[in-house]
Structure 1
């Protein structure tokens, strides 16, 4: 099962015959090039100097991307000594290293070497054991067989030039050195970060053909920009799971640019690599780690409750370690393993490829519950929180590290979400702010460091009122938020309503229907009076109906466009939702000028990103026309549907109708009437705007009716009426008007029925039950609905004929990414432009709290 084939294996040993490659470059450093002949001479000399110390040594080497380190390591290896590659002085003392290389010469440490097994050559920390004395014991056969297998399946030759982008005490980084030396290739030694332009300038100058990365490497490159390397032929990835969509995207990028992506899988316990995915399969099987390396084989042992076909992955091959060492006495032991139980849960695909589905060891056992730490991190990520999770060192808490400068409100949200996702009591979740997530040299999360984190001290001046005020300030971009401010008074709108309501819900519990008009102090009083949960939170939550409808509607819209289904009418439901939000956020008790400014700000939040995006699309593709770019196609364009000019009809309608309603209600007399008769005004306007819709039917109007603001404004105004309906009678009347508009509106019974169901739910159900697990994703999609709608026109056509589901998923992903980008840029701009907020002390806040 999953056996590797050797192919044309490289037969030479790592450093036994370096001189056979003559003057071909072996190492390129910042100070010059070292040929294989030069390297051989230096290794021979260093080996003789080390032998002069007498006896077999346990040599401590400090890894560095330098020729001196490579020479010292190769001299240790070929001289029959044992190398301990570590930067940790304590680890070297714990294992009684008898010699060391200081970068220039050998010296004794004054400690006698422990008894060393004849086959032992290398000691490495495992990827998860930083700070622990547990080491992996590796033999010469382990190192040579793995290097030969890697050189074979990567097809390495003397023409290859590799760049060191990983530490050389990390088994993956060391394997790059070994496999390239074995093949007579060249290694460019450089210890700079992949985010530094100078590294890639040098790589271009050296003609680098390959580099290696862990998932964190590609995160950094995604932020810093992908390097331009005309000579690049291969990129390898291991050290953790890269999301399948990232694998596919990178592989497709490589196909365009002329290089291959090789996804690999390994552990320190197997020297470096156990599996690789042939590059031609990266786009079709991006979730797989492929097949066993040459000379290796896999099997899958069943695991109870793991699922059909899923079990623990077991590897057999000559690269499997001799065993672990936890004390100097263990270094005398021989090989104790002939196979490696990886601890990973895996299954075989129908094509015989290995697919990793989980990690047995990434579980915590707390309060009698088995908690999947990866799942907790994923759930928190869906809620917009980057975090790292581990079981506390004393086994009593789930520790969640949150990077950056999270405020008290954010930490409380994370704690609540983690408790809800795990079923743990809130006191068992320890949320700790950190500057950055602690990581190992290979880029993986340092779980032991997270496990040791202690609770941060809580400032005594941080009351519930202050923390909620900070939450409002962060999401709404206000530096000064006082106890008497509310969501409406601070200019909140539908774009920020979703995020803030969900975050408040996680802190306060179920929100009152009018929370957006309540003050910060009133909401803080709810938090103070809320009983503390004594049992697991229910699996269902009640969520604001507009949030659920926004998310469902945009999914239906995009799914219909990409041909995954044909369920039309979602955009028209969104018009009614927009009307509800208009009434909620823009009809505040204020003067005419303030209302105009409020509506203008809300319109700008929609219009500015829309004009920028559509304008960029038009500039690059030549369409749509300028009317659509300026969102004036509905006013100045043809009255017939035409693509792509009418693609953005929904945005134009919302802006036109909301601006008209805002300006109308800013007229002093209309404003006075609206304050006394909120529902009659909204209902009357909704009924009035039904007239053009029916006149068009009676007159057999041949233009586009269902996408034009003149004929669909009743939906927006009907939503307004639903929002201000005061009782059953009002709701019945609002329902009657909306259903009258739906009847025969689109010419499709199914479409009319979907719109009708949506508006009826909107009128009668302020909130709906929703699976708690889906609250975060639903809120994210709802928040990003504008950006999903804007960008999906450029995304889904790539998928609609081949993979409709992919069209939907990628469209949602791109929209979510755009939303996050705009949100973070806006928050950054607010932080830069506004003074640091000052919150009143606790004593003063509590005096004004009811």
Structure 2
């Protein structure tokens, strides 16, 4: 009986294997392994094992080792022609079926050879890593030591058994009598987590892409009471993601181990202790027990190639059957990674010696380009193809932005970069990047072509046409409530009636719904309800202030529409950082021009004080000035958005809103109503109309944007009607706001004459600047309120157009500067 079988038997009735349908104790596993070893033959043989994460595969893997055969694990369901033809294995095991290809051993196998593995999980290559029993055992014991694995642990097999990382999970747990949950299910499959919870799983392993999937399914909110630790290896994970998962680990009561390894070192070479994942997420940590590093750097340089020494370093490579007779041909592993040892003793990877390409006379680090894209929140793989840089990025990204960031990071012209947007990034079975597949993608996909709508999007959003991806939507491209008006009006003219959710549809889909025949019909035009109400509200505000008529309530209507647009354009499916950045930009679009106008008015008039310059007059006073409350709407809106930006910067709030968008909006509405009804006993009386206590109008608009059912809209309408009752002490004012916000709740668009649609769009787009300047403009026409109102609207429209023109010129200048910077690279 082999030492491996004896080792398994020592753990007796401990459960070794869990599956969906059965459990297997160590004693029974040992019996099966012993039988499998016999079925493979008495002479040492080369055994090709097609692997799945199931009992049959595990038993034959252990059987091959127990019988001192040489096992070559390969992923099931793949083409292994190259390996079969090159190495001509004696035995092939597939789905538990043992096929003897000859009656006796056909290869000369070195006594120390136990396993052959494809490098980095690649398939189809005859270049294999030769591993010995010492390599396997020493690495399994080292991993078990620093992870503190014992008999109570149960690990799920989240990685292929043909991949050294996946195999190391199996080896290290069987070395300590721990349990394994054998499954091929993805971490995105709820059945995986049901099995994990049912068998009280304590750990699982993941490559960087696994953690990207975990973020998509809100892993941090899962209830996993028995989870003890999670390991990450298989490539560098962005430090910011390491930090996020370290935070999740801290709050969830488990540990995160970030590890560094290679097939040539059996699996692991270094690990980052969990307590350092928060403070040093950019480091690979320290060598595993029994191993050591050296950095081979030029004299005086602290950065050089990382070299690993340890008993787990491979015997050497095999490129053909003759190499199977070789003994140990390497003493240390030259990793090919550029590294340094930091003052705190931790090792850091700073680049890759083999991922440099020459383009335009420049030596370009492809890993650096990928890191620059990752820092911008873009998951992408980079490869070279002759004189071009190929970048594959996942769906939802803007190809133009990907192209520009990659070009700037590489220092080459944008024309030298080809960005391809794909549903999923190409991966090897190991979960590592498949760079040859990235090159193939460049042949299958072309760069987006420029078209009319593309130029329209670029014009309104102040982008280069090349930066507008046809697969991106208005929201994806950075559109917000301020650019929404201009885009909706101009888009209506270009393609006819707009779909209700046009702002979230890809540009190329909008081209497909164009209806030119309808555009010529007088009543075929539609206008967004929010756009029409913004136009109407600004006319009501200016007209009432100039005393042309008296119809109050326009500002409160605008506050509700602002909340509606907040829900649509700021709380999108984008990542949290981008949500907050989008919200920050929206605040800037409102606050900056407001402050600039107040500064100008302070120089020319006595209308404002220094507190207006801070947009804080309603908070800081003075409250007795005739002009004290003129900018109350801007102040309330800006500080509301600032407070929400702070709140949604918090991961917990962000997660809650994504899970229950309507419920969260209603919770904020409840807070607003508590202020409206003075639940805190502040007794601000009529002043509450014009302070942060008017927040409930914003909240009800926000909830309207998130309402998806008729019942939710009915609830909002009832709340609106009840809350307005007696709010203004003016039935006319209350009815005006009620009707306006009810339209927002129930009707996304209105049908009206085309000429009226265009006028509404112009007025709505200029509403902010009109609101800011109208106090000073209509005052120039005392005794003639009609001219004062028309002049105010005209000046607001004029300033809007001038700002748009200035932004166009600034964009052109930035493009010229960027081109000038790239000129040396072209030479």
The TM-score normalised by the length of structure 2 is 0.60
Tell me the equivalent position of 2:430: 442
- Return the alpha-carbon distance in structure 1 between the equivalents of residues 415 and 15 of structure 2: 60
Which of 55, 58, 73 is the matching residue for 1:67?
55
Tell me the equivalent position of 2:25: 35
Tell me the equivalent position of 1:619: 667
Tell me the equivalent position of 1:264: 259
Aligned residues: 588
Change (3 A) 1:299 1:690: farther
Equivalent residues in 2 for 1:311-710 (5 A)?
A: 311-380=304-373, 386-392=379-385, 395-404=386-395, 414-415=402-403, 418-424=406-412, 428-432=416-420, 434-456=422-444, 464-465=451-452, 468=455, 474-476=472-474, 489-490=490-491, 572-575=591-594, 616=664, 619=667, 637-638=687-688, 685=774, 687-688=776-777
Change (3 A) 1:642 1:122: same
Tell me the equivalent position of 2:622: none
Tell me the equivalent position of 1:222: 215
Name structure 1 gaps, 5 residues minimum. Answer: 1-11, 479-484, 493-498, 504-554, 563-567, 580-601, 653-658, 692-713, 732-760, 776-850
Tell me the equivalent position of 1:518: none
Question: How far off is 1:623 after superposition?
Answer: 5.3
- Return the alpha-carbon distance in structure 1 between the equivalents of residues 444 and 663 of structure 2: 47
- Return the alpha-carbon distance in structure 2 between the equivalents of residues 674 and 26 of structure 1: 72
- Return the alpha-carbon distance in structure 2 between the equivalents of residues 220 and 275 of structure 1: 24
- Return the alpha-carbon distance in structure 2 between the equivalents of residues 162 and 476 of structure 1: 44
- Return the alpha-carbon distance in structure 2 between the equivalents of residues 64 and 476 of structure 1: 44
Question: How far off is 1:95 after superposition?
Answer: 1.4
Can you list the C-alpha shifts for 1:446-496, whole angstroms capped at 9, x where unaligned? Answer: 11222334523769x967447657959853489xxxxxx98851279xxxx
Can you list the C-alpha shifts for 1:161-207, whole angstroms capped at 9, x where unaligned? Answer: 11111111111110110000000111111111111111111111111
- Return the alpha-carbon distance in structure 2 between the equivalents of residues 327 and 224 of structure 1: 44
Instruction: For CA contacts below 8 A with separation 6 or more, give which structure has more relative contact order.
Output: 1
Tell me the equivalent position of 1:85: 73
- Return the alpha-carbon distance in structure 1 between the equivalents of residues 126 and 351 of structure 2: 26
Stretch moving more, 256-265 or 176-185: 256-265
- Return the alpha-carbon distance in structure 2 between the equivalents of residues 233 and 725 of structure 1: 60
Question: How far off is 1:213 after superposition?
Answer: 1.2
- Return the alpha-carbon distance in structure 1 between the equivalents of residues 273 and 246 of structure 2: 11
Q: Please state whether the residue corresponding to 1:351 is helix, strand or coil.
A: coil
Contact 1:576 1:716 in 2 (8 A): no
Contact 2:122 2:428 in 1 (8 A): no
Question: How far off is 1:235 after superposition?
Answer: 1.2
Change (3 A) 1:724 1:237: closer
- Return the alpha-carbon distance in structure 1 between the equivalents of residues 101 and 591 of structure 2: 78
- Return the alpha-carbon distance in structure 1 between the equivalents of residues 342 and 694 of structure 2: 42
Question: How far off is 1:24 after superposition?
Answer: 1.1
Question: How far off is 1:295 after superposition?
Answer: 0.2
Stretch moving more, 427-436 or 270-279: 427-436
- Return the alpha-carbon distance in structure 2 between the equivalents of residues 672 and 26 of structure 1: 69
Q: Please state whether the residue corresponding to 1:321 is helix, strand or coil.
A: coil
Equivalent residues in 2 for 1:777-792 (5 A)?
A: none
Tell me the equivalent position of 1:247: 242
Contact 1:161 1:185 in 2 (8 A): yes
Tell me the equivalent position of 1:94: 86
Change (3 A) 1:450 1:458: closer
- Return the alpha-carbon distance in structure 1 between the equivalents of residues 792 and 259 of structure 2: 54
Say what the alpha-carbon RMSD is for the aligned residues: 5.4
Contact 1:615 1:629 in 2 (8 A): no
Question: How far off is 1:220 after superposition?
Answer: 1.2
Tell me the equivalent position of 1:295: 290
Equivalent residues in 2 for 1:682-761 (5 A)?
A: 685=774, 687-688=776-777, 722-724=799-801
The TM-score normalised by the length of structure 1 is 0.59
Contact 2:91 2:100 in 1 (8 A): yes
Change (3 A) 1:192 1:269: same
- Return the alpha-carbon distance in structure 2 between the equivalents of residues 683 and 47 of structure 1: 84
Which of 147, 150, 174 is the matching residue for 1:154?
147
- Return the alpha-carbon distance in structure 2 between the equivalents of residues 690 and 763 of structure 1: 32
Question: How far off is 1:573 after superposition?
Answer: 1.6
